[in-house]
Amino acid sequence: MEFANRPWDRCHRQLREHLAQLLGLDPATYPPGRMTYDLRRLRLHGLIRRIPGTHRYRVTGQGLRVALFFTRTHARLLRPKLADIFDPAPRAPTPLRRAFDRVDQEIKRCCLELNLAA
């Protein structure tokens, strides 16, 4: 398979700059060693692959499926359901809000039992 320079093929430095911005960090505070570690983990999990003979990476089909799964899960499930949990003045407590409140109370109880700051 021929690999051409495509906009989605990124080198280490470009990926580090983009990732630092996504994490809300100054790129200078996201060291190259950490980026190397992150890239290695993504590669070992089959989410990206290095383009042979280059220092560039490409997202694999599996990596794209994983990214789409998390994007859709966030948009369709987490964002609306977290709004139910964290709404300061809910119209009516939802089952999820009640369950979250119970878990929150149990965590606080455990912290008090262990003399931890909650």
Residue 88's pLDDT is 77
Residue 6 has pLDDT above 60, yes or no: no
> Measuring CA to CA, which residue among 114, 110, 4, 1 is closest to residue 56?
4
Residue 47 binned pLDDT confidence (cut-offs 50, 70, 90) = very high
Mean pLDDT in residue range 62-83: 91
Per DSSP, what are the bridge partners of residue 58? 49
Query: Phi, psi (5° rounding) for residue 8?
Result: -90, -5
Residue 60's pLDDT is 94
**What is the residue-wise DSSP string for the chain?**
------TT-EEHHHHHHHHHHHTT--GGGS-HHHHHHHHHHHHHTTSEEEPTTSSEEEE-HHHHHHHHHHHHHIIIIIHHHHHHHH-SS-SS--HHHHHHHHHHHHHHHHHHHTT---
pTM for the structure as a whole: 0.62
Residue 1 has pLDDT above 50, yes or no: no
Length of the chain: 118
Mean pLDDT in residue range 71-99: 85
Task: Provide the token pair at 87.
Answer: 């709404």
Nearest-5° Cα angle at 70, 52 to 95: 165
